Chains A and B, each alone.
Chain A
Amino acid sequence: MLPQYIVFGQLGLIVVVEVFTLLLAWSYFKLHRQNLELQKKVAELDHLLLADEQKILDKARDEGKQLIVKAQGQAEKIVGDAQEFGSQSNQALAKMLDSLSEKQVEVSNQVIGRVRDDTVTLLQELIQNLKQHAASEMDTFGKGLQQEFTTARQNAQQTIDAAYGTATAEVEAYKEKRLEQIKRQMTILVREIVEKVLAKSVDERQHEQLVLQAVEEAKKDGIL
């Protein structure tokens, strides 16, 4: 059996814990209720804000419409004023034109005539200058053409002369070559003929006589 004070002590402790638990629960409920209230207020405030924004927009739209209408009115007025001014100006101008005197017309005609004469003179001078320039260009072109023609003719003549010289030299060389060939062939032919003729017609003594004759000629020629 536990002592009595311990039992009372335990009971006292349980009571304290219970009390503390109750306090804690009460605090929780209190906080929860405050939270709900705050959420509600926030929702109200949001609602209020949205309503204000819509109002501002509506007000701005209305003001804009009013401004546009007002501007249109002013614009129509300005256009009307301008048309009226133009009409008045035309009328004034017509009046001014009507008021030009014959003298002024004559002066104008004189000015126009002078301008026309100046223009004609200028054109005539221009044509004359063009003629002179064209003549000068033609003269230069003609001289250049003549120079080119002369040079071309000289070049052609040189080319012809060179070709003729080459051809002549080739012909001469060919002729020399052919003559040399003919001479060789003639020499061979004549020698063969002479050999045959000498063999038949010239005897040993006649050969000896030719040698003796050669010696005598050498003496006469101063060789011996």
Chain B
Amino acid sequence: MEYSEVLNAISTVFEMEQLMQAIAALKTAMYKTEAHVYEETFRAKVPLHLADLMRRNIPEDRDKGVEYLEGLKEAMEGMPVVTITMAFHPTEGFLAELGGSLKELMQKQVLVDIRVRRLLLGGARVEYGGRFKDYSVRHRLTEILDDQSGRIAAWGSDG
């Protein structure tokens, strides 16, 4: 089955987790006899910006629909995750921009795990596949201060 349309529409781990919860709820609702139960669950659980995509892609047949949801879930679980810690809460527009930038840089669809830590002051810490580097303003300031401390210590030794 084709999942790329939905996968392209999500860029963050938060969105993925929302969609995972929606998939679990939809699978349960599909086995209910009352038709309105599924519809109510869909409206309540599926994120609004994904609703149309999901309606278009989920087959109407119950068994095929369940199969699609399980396949989508596995495809999301297999997506690479880039963890980015930043000093402010990003807007949805910036998240989309960041996702697009990452996809372009990495040449593949990735999920962004956003974490906010104001002490970073600016910039970001980037972690992927067990590798990590700090590009925050705080880290750069600390490097500068360490260098200055070294100079102060050198003065103390000279004096």
Q: Which residues of A does B touch, CB under 8 Å?
A: 175, 179, 182-183, 186-187, 190-191, 194-195, 198, 202, 204, 207-208, 210-219, 221-224
Contacts and interface: CB of A to CB of B under 8 A. Distances in A.
Contacts of B82: 224
B141 A214 contact: no
A152 B88 CA distance: 70
The prevalent SS among residues of A at the interface is helix
B133 A221 contact: yes
B98 A190 contact: no
Contacts, number: 94
B79 to A, nearest CB: 15
Contact of A212 (B91, B97, B125): B97
A172 to B, nearest CB: 10
Contact of B141 (A190, A210, A217): A190
Given A179-B152, A179-B153, A187-B141, A210 B123 contact: yes
A222 B126 CA distance: 11
Interface in B71-113: 82, 84, 86-88, 90-91, 94, 97-98, 101-102, 105-106
B138 A191 contact: yes
Contacts of B146: 183
Contacts of B3: none
B142 interface: yes
Given A212-B98, A215-B84, A195 B149 contact: no
B98 A211 contact: yes
19 contacts: A175-B153, A179-B153, A179-B156, A182-B152, A183-B149, A191-B119, A198-B122, A204-B91, A210-B122, A212-B98, A214-B136, A215-B84, A215-B102, A219-B106, A223-B128, A224-B82, A224-B102, A224-B105, A224-B106
Given A190-B145, A221-B133, A215 B122 contact: no
B88 to A, nearest CB: 5
Pick the 8 closest A-B CB pairs, nearest first: A214-B135, A218-B126, A214-B124, A211-B124, A210-B123, A219-B105, A223-B131, A183-B149
Given A175-B156, A198-B137, A211-B84, 17 more contacts: A179-B153, A179-B156, A182-B149, A194-B141, A207-B88, A210-B122, A212-B98, A214-B123, A214-B125, A215-B102, A215-B124, A216-B101, A216-B105, A218-B126, A221-B133, A223-B128, A224-B106
B132 interface: yes
B105 A215 contact: yes
B141 A215 contact: no
B145 to A, nearest CB: 5
B136 to A, nearest CB: 8
B121 interface: yes
A153 to B, nearest CB: 31
A218 B137 CA distance: 15
A214 B126 contact: yes
A187 B137 CA distance: 12
Nearest to A202: B122
A207 B126 CA distance: 15
Nearest to B127: A223
A182 B152 CA distance: 10
B158 to A, nearest CB: 12
